[in-house]
Amino acid sequence: MQGKHIAITGPTAGIGRSASLEFARRGAQLTLFCRNLEKAETLQREIIAQGGLAPDIILMDMADLGSVRRAGEALLARAETLDVLLNNAGVVNTTRKETVDGYEETLAVNHFAPFLLTGLLLPLLLKTPKARIVNVSSHAHTFVKSMGYEDMQATEKFRAFREYGRSKLANILFTKYLAEQLKGQGVTVNCLHPGAVATSLGTQNGGFVSRNLPRLLKPFFRSPDQGAQTSIYLCCSDEVADVSGEYFVNCKRKRPKPWAQNTVEADRLWAYTERCLDFEYPFAKLG
């Protein structure tokens, strides 16, 4: 990855941190999209200390679409190329929370934000030979069988596993649709399940369970370094340089559930998301 430019969301903890350190070790130039400047600077110093190139830091709050827009525009202004975009950040909530834009936070952070960021950075990716988009999804897409448009924002009833599962289903449908649209344009799009990983995901929720569950389950989970392997593989390996629109588990292709392969649902979700964000992908201009 010497000389390659990789942008990553959620790089300061868990599998994002592990992936960032490995990318830097391989010689990549990193752009870190972070909400917390202090944590970002700590990671920046760690990367420099291990001999890596000093990463660029762009502040971004994925629960604020305005912040996502500003972050995307900032990278467009700074960079000439982008080899890899790793949409890694995610959230799981035990109670319903609403973003500043009025959307249910799980769907907004896990789907709306990466959808918007990817669209904003697409011109940069299309300028780069064999660029890659990698989306971290999850086996949690098996928790649901549809996006549930009748209560997409969970205003009538909130169920933590259902909302998280829908957001991860959205990641796969987004991947499938985007890969189809970008056929023949030199950019691949894939997604993955990192496995059950001992990370900080969910610890932002209050209460005894949220504080202690990760510690109690840690012996049964893989480490962040182990969980990051499929992300690293999809971002770096020559084996998947021309593979697009696929779902990976343990660095191998795997068929997701049938409802995650439904092209009609992928079309519907794409249209719904563009309406919510008031943002259209510039396919017509770039094709």
Q: Which residues are catalytic?
A: 164
Question: In whole angstroms, what is the distance from residue 16 CA to residue 159 CA?
Answer: 26
Exposure class string for 182-203: b at 16+ Cβ within 10 A, else e: beeeebbbbbbbbbebbbebbe
Distance CA 119, CA 53 (A): 27
Q: Where do the DSSP E strands lie in 137-227?
A: 187-193
- Tell me 54's DSSP state: P
According to DSSP, residue 6 is labeled E
CA distance 181 to 170: 16
Nearest to 142 by CA among 266, 256, 263: 256
CA distance 236 to 28: 10
Cα distances (Å, whole numbers) of residue 9 to 60, 222, 267: 9, 21, 25
